Structures are given as C-alpha cells and as structure tokens.
Structure 1
Amino acid sequence: MSASDPVANLQTLIRCPSVTPAEGGALSTLEAMLVPLGFAVERIVASEPGMPDIENLYARLGTDGPHLMFAGHTDVVPPGDETSWRHPPFAAEIDAGELFGRGAVDMKGGIACFVAAVARHIEEHDPPKGSISFLITGDEEGPAVNGTEKLLKWAAEKGERWDACLVGEPTNPDVLGDMIKIGRRGSVSGKVTVFGVQGHAAYPHLADNPVRSLLPLAAALMDEPFDTGTPEFPASNLEVTSIDVGNPATNVIPAKAGFAFNIRFNDTWTAETLKAEIIRRLDKAATASPLRPGRAPARYEIVWAERPSHVFLTRNNGLIASLSGAVEEVTGRVPALSTTGGTSDARFIKDYCPVVEFGLVGQTMHMVDERVALADLETLTQIYGTFLSRWFDNALLS
C-alpha cells in the first residue's frame, strides 16, 4: 500500500490503540510507512523513576542540509465511554465523508498527512536536496517527561541539527487555513496553602480561620491585570482552578485551606519575574486583609509546579512565509499568525530550531466522536506538500 494516501495512513494509525503511555503499535505502523520511503528509523525508550517508560521514534531521510523536522505524537487521550461513540473509537470507520476515531485530529491526522506529502514529493520530485526528519513521541498527552524533550536531547547528542520544524498539532479553529501558531504563551502553576488555627465556629476569637485569608489572597492574584498584552500576545491571565478546605464539619473552623492556580503569560514576563510578582501580591494581601482585621499577617506557603512552560515567539520569516504561502496557495485563505491556545511540544523544540505549528481543525479533539473530514485530509496533504517545496527552495537559496 502506498503511503501517499492520507486517509489510508490515518485509518491504519487510528486502529492502533496508543493511549498514553501505550505504544499500541502506532510507532511500528509509522515505521512501516517510512522505511520504504528511504527513512532510517530509530526507536528510543526514555525512562524516569516513578513514571512509565515511553517509546519514541526518530526517522531521517537524507544526510545533508538544509534539514526540516516534522514533529508530533502518536499517543492519544482515553476515549471515555466507548458506548457513547457513533463508531468505535479505534475502528477508523468512515461515515458521510468523515473519518471517526480517537486521534483523528489530535494528532494522528497531521502525521498521516505529512507522511503522504513526503511520499508524493518523492514520487513527483525525488527526495529533496536536504534532509527530512520525523520526531514522534508517545508522551505528549501525558506528563511529557519521557517524550519530545528527551528525544531532542538524545538526537542532538548524536549530532542531529535542524534548520526548522513544523509541528502538526491541530491549529485551525473553524476552517483549514485559518491559523498558524508562531509562538505560545508561557504557563506557570502553583498551589497556595494558608494556615490558621482550628476551633469551634461559635468561638471564632479562639481560632484563626484560614478561609478569611485565602479569599483575599486568591482575589489578589485574579483582580489586577498583569499586563495589557503585546502586539504578538494577548494579556496574561491567571485563573484559580481549585479551592480546597477539606473540612466535612460545618461547625469547625479548619486549620488550613488551599487553592491552586495557573497563569498563561506573554512575553512581558519570564517565569522567574512572574513568580516574583505573584509572591509580591500574596505578601501584600496577607498583610492587609479586610476579612480579618486586627490579626497578624496571614501565614501561607506556595509550592510551584516543577516544570513551567516558557513563552516563545518564532521570528523566522522564511519558515513562516513558506507555510503561509503554501496555505494561501492551496486554500485561498491568508492564515492568521497566532500565539493563542495552550502549550505544546513546540516549547521544547524552540530551543533547537525555529518552529511553527499547523494542522487540522481542532473542534473535535479529545471529544467523543473525534473525527476529521476526508476533504481536509487531502487539503492538508496538499498544503504540506506545497510547504515542502517552498521551504526547501527558499532554504537552498539562502
């Protein structure tokens, strides 16, 4: 079977139940597609104490520069209640012009289309005068510890160097051709614990209710805007995502209370300067709480999540222009250049080469009945193929 058919490629990949951390046969399937095209394929297992081992794949076609990387993941989120699906989540069935299955959009569809685009490029033009590599992880939907970050380090240590990267995540909100991601906001998470003195609710003077401190501390983080945004990024935004007192008794003042938060931040900040601002706000609120007049400053501690995601913006005009031009040529749409949305593995790749993201329409990702239009698979394959030609032509001239 030719790898130039994105629908067949995707059906084969979806039928591999590769729910994180299981490989599920997906990397073996991808290897079987790439080897006949001339790729040298390596499978790397990454480990970390206390976490499951993750199998990853690196494949390269060519030995010279310029070198273009395509990055993505074959792992998928759980399907949830499989009886709620119109078609079984790993059957890859087609219905009314749509292909159903977990990972159809996020992001086996992007991988299937890029493989098809490379296969067609080789059939029509021979291999490019340079190199193409696939960097594919099985740990993007999980903790992302044993995936792309370690795979990049392994490849770089053996001498791999890249000139640019395209990540095939679903980036389009409504229609294929809407949006290219040229950067991502940073992300910092933390948990605040406020300490009080347990006591009877009828005798509050003998206790110290931590909830009275928690509320102004949480408000201090959400109230005043952190910034107004930049030309490339929206305003930074903090959300309190959980409040927990853990107190089953309504007549007992608890000894402690806590809340968790996450902030998505723009390039006004670094993770370090943002942490300092959050602590400044907490300290100020702890000493001036209107809910506990006459009391000493509130006692709290903050524990930061171990792995903040750093903000980045790609400024490589050649890469962006090659992809934007390909999208416009195939679809007639001029894609918006965006930094919205959550984090992706591009946050690791940006330390090695310029990176952009473009893939399918993301409306059904992670949902029951995740699906993709067959027409979009063909269109994305054409966009990727046009991008390949444009990027290598530009890179060889520069």
Structure 2
Amino acid sequence: MNNQCKDSKPLSLLYRLVSCPSTTGTAEEVGVEKELFNILSEMEYFKNHPENLMLHPIPGDRHGRCAVAGLVKGKGEKTVILLSHHDVVDTADYGPIREHALNPDRLASSLDPSTLDPETLADRASGGWIFGRGVADMKAGIALFISLMDEMSSAREGLRGNILFLSVPDEETNSAGMTGSVAFLNQFACSRGLEYIGLVNSEPCSFNPDGTYNMYIGSIGKLLPAVFCFGREAHAREPYAGVNANLIMAELIRAIEGNARLSDKYGDDITMPPANLKAMDLKDVYSASTPPASIAFFNMLTYRRSPQEIVSLLKETASASFSRALEIINGRIREYSSASGTSIGELEWKPRVYTYMEMYNLCLERHGEPFTKHMEDFIGTEAGKAADERDLTVKIIKEVHSFCPDRNPKVVIAFSPPYYPHVTVTGKDKKEANTLHAVERLSQFCAGNFGIDLKVNRFFNGISDLSYCGVQDAEEVIGLLKPNMPVWGHPYLVPVDEIKKLDVPAVILGPWGKDLHKFTERLNLESYLVTTPALLRFYVDTLLNLNH
C-alpha cells in the first residue's frame, strides 16, 4: 500500500474505527459508540445541526449500549436508512499476534506465512488488501456510509430526500441492537415527518467463481427449536423398566441432522438443512439411573416457512422418531427374553408430542393460579443466574414439566432465541417496486462503469439485521412464537408489531471482503476506495429520485 493511499481520508477513517475495540457482547461496544459519535460530530453538517445526531440507548441492555444515529436532511420526507453494526467478533483466533489484530499495518507484517494458504499469501503480497479484525465485517461499511453522508450533506441543495445513518451494537450475537432500535426508527419517523423508502446495509460482499459480484435483496430466516425428550427413569440393572430419554433424542437427531427434506425452498434457492447445535441429558450428577430427560437445539433456516409450519414438521418428525425408539427397545426386549429364557413385557407407551404451550396449559388446568405465580417467581429468580437465553430456556421447561400431570414419556417442542424472520423484496408495493427498479439500474451502472456484472441474490444466507426490517404474517408469528418461547420477555423480545410497522425494503451492498471471522479477515482496497462508494452513491440517489 503506497503512502498516498494510506493518507486518504476514507482509509484514515477506517483505521480509526478498526483501532477502537468493540468485541460483541461486551462493554467495549460502548467505547466505539462514543468514538463513532465523535467522528460524526466532526462533520461540518453535524456541527451546524447537532440536533440531528444522537445516541439511542438500547432498552434494558445490561452493558448500557447504544445505537448511533445521524440524519442528513434534504428536501421532503422520503428517507433512505444506512444501516451498519459496530460490534466485531473477538480476536482470540489471532493467537500470539492478537495484540496487532486492530492495527492493519502491523498485523500484515506479523502474519506467519506458514499459516497462510496460497490465496491469502498472494493477497498480502499484492498490497491490494488490508488485514485486521473488523476491516471488512463491518467497519468498512460504517466508514463508507460516513463518507457518503459527508459528501451528500455538502450538496444538500440537490438532495431529493434524507439520509438516516444508523449503527447498532450486538449484530454478531443476538441482534439486540437492531431489535432495540426498530421502535426508535418508527418514533423518529413520526416525530420528524419522515417516510422510509429503503434501507441499505453495507455488510461485506464477495465475487463468485464466474466473476459476478454479489448483492442481496433479502436475508435468510432462522429459528432455533429447543426439543426436549422426557423418558421414564430406570436403574441401569433394569433398563427395560423405563425408556432412556437419550435413545429418543438419538433417533430424533438422526432424523433431523442434515436432512435435505427439511430444507426450505424459494424458487431455485434452497436453504442448508437443519443442524444440531447442542445436545445433552439433564442429569445433574452421575448416577446408575438412566437419564430422565434430554435437550437438543436445532438450527433451522427459512425462506418461506412460518413458525407454524416448522412446528408441524417437527411434530411429525418427533412422533416418528419416538415410534422408532420404542420399536428398538421392544425389539431388544424380545432378543434379551429369548437369550435369557425370561419373559419381559414390552413397553406399551405411545408417542406423545406437545408444544411448550400445550404442556404449559396442561399444568395450568391442573394447578391453576398458584402454578402461574410459581413460574413467574421462578423465572424472576433464574433469569439473573442463567448463562444465557438457551440455558434459561432449559431451566424453565424442566420446571414446567415438573408440574405436568402427564407423566408418560413425551417430546416437547419449544423455541429459543435468537429468532430471525426471513425477508426479501418481491415488488409487493410501490416502495418495493422502486427498490427493484433501482437495483436494475445499479446493475447497468456497475457493468457500464466498472465492467462488473452484479448477481442479485434473493437472500443473504448469513444471518443479518435485515431480518428486522419487515416480517410476513406478523400476527401468526407472534401468536405462535410468544407462547412457545419460554424466555420471551425475560428479557428476549422480538418487536414483531414494530417490525411490521417499519416494513422497509432493504438490500445488502458492501465492499469486497474475505475470510470474515477468521484471523485472515481482509478488505479489498480498490473495492473500498473506488467501486463500492460509487455504487452506494448511485443506488441512494436513484432510490430517492424514483420515489420523489
């Protein structure tokens, strides 16, 4: 990298942002929020209009984190949101050179060539890439948006609308920043007389093997079902006297893990199949008894499916898996009876599958108000002790089951955070039609000016904050998720009604980055300094002009 390039204003801004630690889920994010606010305060526009620059506290956040917002006011009410996140994943993967992870120049010279693949070695040698934690994901996007605002605010007489910058914390963890900012966006639009016509997220993008460059007009959805198997405890010397919860769970995991039939489809697009993220029995200590209960969390991705459809699929799969487990046990009882010359009765249980809400209601019918009061007190006590929302989910369901009048073996299906709605631009209304038209013009501009063909993807297949820009079938979603997610409101909450109200068409268009979340994370300089700034400016201008 030559010195002239290093001294450029956009690159200096990026280095300043990268040097500020902001590991996700920590108080470091507060520090980068203050720095980001200071950077924006240095812009001439915000010196003259400080009332348009603000920190929005994330409600109930234990770290005291904020979203950083800045409005550049042009003509009229039409407004484009520039969305970014300022948290980064931690730097532990840098190992012995961790101290240089936030210093791109020192990091590049500190990387051990023997740990790099040929592509990374070539990129480092070319001088056309900068390395460091957050350079691509996504402090480059923040810097690009700040530069774009600075440029557009200096020519406001020709600005046919408004630009709202919003940078949020916690994208890499639970998206508490975005979910905690949706209501703010709606309130801000109301108080300032704004109409949101589109949103751009500048997450890093990539080239495909055929030379096309990716952008996205939507984002994949994610649900995290928490599936509980409750068996019948037995002593190890009499295993056929009960049913091992782990056997039921093993059959369930075997049926779900990597099963393409459980993938979701949208046209030619298909999600990756479900994956088991955690499985364990719920025995507190070792004993000679079989596990009475077990839990598994599954990552399920969606393009179209609603939570209700996911529940139906899981119920069907759980019932079949339960039946197979009983068949296995009874087959082995017959084998043992034959081998030992004894007569052991087969298990006569039938598969029982409940949603969490169904089990909760059974308990409520039997125990009434004292049960409700007990669970309120229990959750209030345990919420502060649990390691995270998943841990609290396990504690709550285990406690509810202790009140369940049905003591037979069963499977219980619940949901745990995080929940990401799938979202995509379909052209359903004028704003979405204008978004698709602007994307089409952008493709022509990119090909004509840079010789690059854009590939417009319907879904970004990494989880992103775009999910909280709109939601399909909001009433059905909240009607099923709220009663089946035990930690809903304790404190996890997806503001579905506010998201429905926001409902802004969103795209992802960002600079070229590689190896995100790895110690070889890097950003392409030409994309950052030349191509992406031009694409972002063209897209925002086009969107404002189409909606004017």
TM-score (norm 1): 0.87
Asked if 1:376 corresponds to 2:527, the answer is yes
* Deviating more after overlay: 326-335 vs 339-348: 326-335
Q: Which runs of 5+ in 1 are unaligned?
A: none
Does the CA contact (< 8 Å) of 1:188 and 1:264 recur in 2?
A: yes
| TM-fit CA distance, 1:274 | 1.5
* Deviating more after overlay: 238-247 vs 120-129: 120-129
Residues 83, 304 of structure 1: alpha-carbon distance in 2 compared, 3 angstrom cutoff: closer
Distance in 2 (alpha carbons) for counterparts of 1:206 and 1:389: 72
| TM-fit CA distance, 1:154 | 1.3
| TM-fit CA distance, 1:136 | 0.9
Aligned amino acid, residue 414 of structure 2: V
Aligned to 2:36: 30
Equivalent residue in structure 2 for 1:265, among 293, 302, 310: 302
Residues 303, 355 of structure 1: alpha-carbon distance in 2 compared, 3 angstrom cutoff: same
Aligned to 1:395: 547
Asked if 1:345 corresponds to 2:471, the answer is no
Residues 16, 186 of structure 1: alpha-carbon distance in 2 compared, 3 angstrom cutoff: same
SS for the counterpart of 2:329 is: coil
Aligned to 2:89: 77
Aligned to 1:331: 450
Deviations 1:232-291 (A, max 9, x none): 631462112222236786975323233221110221x11222223212321233234332
Aligned amino acid, residue 195 of structure 1: F
SS for the counterpart of 1:38 is: helix
Asked if 1:321 corresponds to 2:325, the answer is no
| TM-fit CA distance, 1:231 | 1.5
What is the correspondence of 1:157-172 to structure 2 with a 5 Å cutoff?
157-158=187-188, 159=190, 160-172=194-206
Tell me the C-alpha RMSD between the 2 structures.
Answer: 2.9
Aligned to 1:44: 56
Asked if 1:358 corresponds to 2:509, the answer is yes
| TM-fit CA distance, 1:124 | 7.0
Residues 170, 15 of structure 1: alpha-carbon distance in 2 compared, 3 angstrom cutoff: same
Aligned to 2:412: 301
* Deviating more after overlay: 122-131 vs 330-339: 122-131
Aligned to 1:184: 219
Aligned to 2:70: 59
Higher radius of gyration, 1 or 2: 2
Residues 189, 362 of structure 1: alpha-carbon distance in 2 compared, 3 angstrom cutoff: farther
Aligned to 2:169: 138
Aligned amino acid, residue 64 of structure 2: D
Distance in 2 (alpha carbons) for counterparts of 1:335 and 1:61: 29
| TM-fit CA distance, 1:387 | 2.3
Equivalent residue in structure 1 for 2:323, among 287, 292, 296: 287
| TM-fit CA distance, 1:12 | 0.9
Question: More helix by proportion, 1 or 2?
Answer: 2
Distance in 2 (alpha carbons) for counterparts of 1:110 and 1:67: 19
Distance in 2 (alpha carbons) for counterparts of 1:149 and 1:326: 34
RCO higher in structure (CA 8 A, sep ≥6)? 1
Aligned to 2:183: 153
Deviations 1:150-187 (A, max 9, x none): 22311311314311000111232558961111112221
Does the CA contact (< 8 Å) of 1:118 and 1:385 recur in 2?
A: no
Question: More strand by proportion, 1 or 2?
Answer: 1
Aligned to 2:149: 118
Equivalent residue in structure 1 for 2:15, among 11, 33, 47: 11
Asked if 1:216 corresponds to 2:251, the answer is yes
Distance in 1 (alpha carbons) for counterparts of 2:152 and 2:268: 34
Distance in 2 (alpha carbons) for counterparts of 1:254 and 1:60: 57
SS for the counterpart of 2:299 is: strand
Distance in 2 (alpha carbons) for counterparts of 1:273 and 1:92: 47
Q: Which runs of 5+ in 2 are unaligned?
A: 1-6, 47-51, 109-126, 331-345, 352-408, 427-431, 471-498
SS for the counterpart of 1:337 is: strand
Distance in 2 (alpha carbons) for counterparts of 1:177 and 1:395: 28
Q: When the two structures are aligned, how many residues end up with a matched partner?
A: 391
